[in-house]
Amino acid sequence: MGETTKIAISAGIQVGGSLFTPEQFAKIGSVVGTDAKIEMTPFKQLYAEVPHERRDVIKEELERYDLEVYPAGFVTKSLIACNFCKGAEEAGLDSARSLNTAIAGIETPTPLKIGYAGCALGTSEPLLKDISVVKMRDTFDIYVGGEPKGLKTSFAKLLISGLTEDKLVPAVTALIHFYKAHAKGKEKFSKFVDRVSLERLRQIAG
């Protein structure tokens, strides 16, 4: 294989969680080629190394099978959502999908993980993500600054509560773009939150 590039493949946001069909798996296997390394990441994406010049063709082929393809590396990962066990409507599937469309694959100073939980049980571990959305009845709460890696871990802190659906995507994208514009080098998002303060971020997201 000549020059290669990594792509991130995900199953899309759906009831039941990160589900792949046998056809999708077979397609991934056939389209990336027999030499490709496929990695299961901790953030619900499969990474595959593919020939650079075939990247766009492979992306199109996979998208035809309802798979989503994003850049790998220093970007926002696709939304790490829960399984929507309370049902599409109650757990806010449409909101999660809109959020995923808005945030997945934005270049960022460090890889960003954005979480979504359809209720306060939070089985998708929202407090361990850089930014997380938790649906509370008819509104949404946003948490920021979760850090599960290393020995100095921290839980995300509540930034905003009671956000209506129409304000959700603008609030989260504003946080991402503010981070992009003001991070110091490769400053981790949790450190960025501590440095700029929750109060400042509330103004940005509000």
Minimal distance in Å, beta carbon 19 to ligand SF4? 13
Give the number of residues in contact with ligand SF4, rule: CB under 6 A.
Answer: 13
> Tokens in use for 197?
């303060």
Looking at residues 129 to 188 of the shown chain, list those that interact with ligand SF4 (rule: CB under 6 A): none
Q: Return the closest-CA partner of residue 129 out of 104, 148, 110, 150.
A: 148
How many CA atoms are closer than 13 Å to the CA of 171, on its beta-carbon side? 25
Q: Which range of residues in 59-67, 69-77, 81-89, 173-181 is near ligand SF4 by CB under 6 A?
A: 81-89
Residue with Cβ nearer ligand SF4 (33 or 148): 148
- Residue 84 within binding range of ligand SF4, rule CB under 6 A: yes
Which residues within the stretch 107-136 sit at the binding site for ligand SF4 (CB under 6 A)? Answer: 117-119, 121-124
Q: The dihedral of CA 78, 197, 158, 138: what is its sign?
A: negative
SS3 category, 183 = coil
Q: Contact with ligand SF4 (CB under 6 A): which of 14, 83, 101, 173? A: 83
Nearer to ligand SF4, 109 or 118 (CB): 118
Contact code string over 42-61 relative to ligand SF4, x by CB under 6 A? --------------------
The CB-of-108 to ligand SF4 minimum distance in angstroms stands at: 25
Contact by Cβ (8 Å): 72, 7? yes
* Residue 97 vs 182, nearer CB to ligand SF4: 97
User: From the CB of residue 149, how many other CB atoms can be counted at a distance below 10 Å?
Assistant: 11
Q: Tell me: does residue 69 bind ligand SF4 (CB under 6 A).
A: no
Q: What residues pair up with 38 in beta bridges, in sequence order?
A: 48
Nearest to 74 by CA among 102, 109, 103: 109
**What percentage of the chain's residues is helix, strand, coil (to nearest 5)?**
35, 25, 40
d(CA 70, CA 10): 8
Q: Which stretch binds ligand SF4 (CB under 6 A): 7-15, 63-71, 79-87, 138-146?
A: 79-87
CB of 119 to ligand SF4, least distance (A): 3
Binding of ligand SF4 by 85 (CB under 6 A)? yes
Length of the chain: 206
**Binding positions for ligand SF4, rule: CB under 6 A:** 82-86, 91, 117-119, 121-124
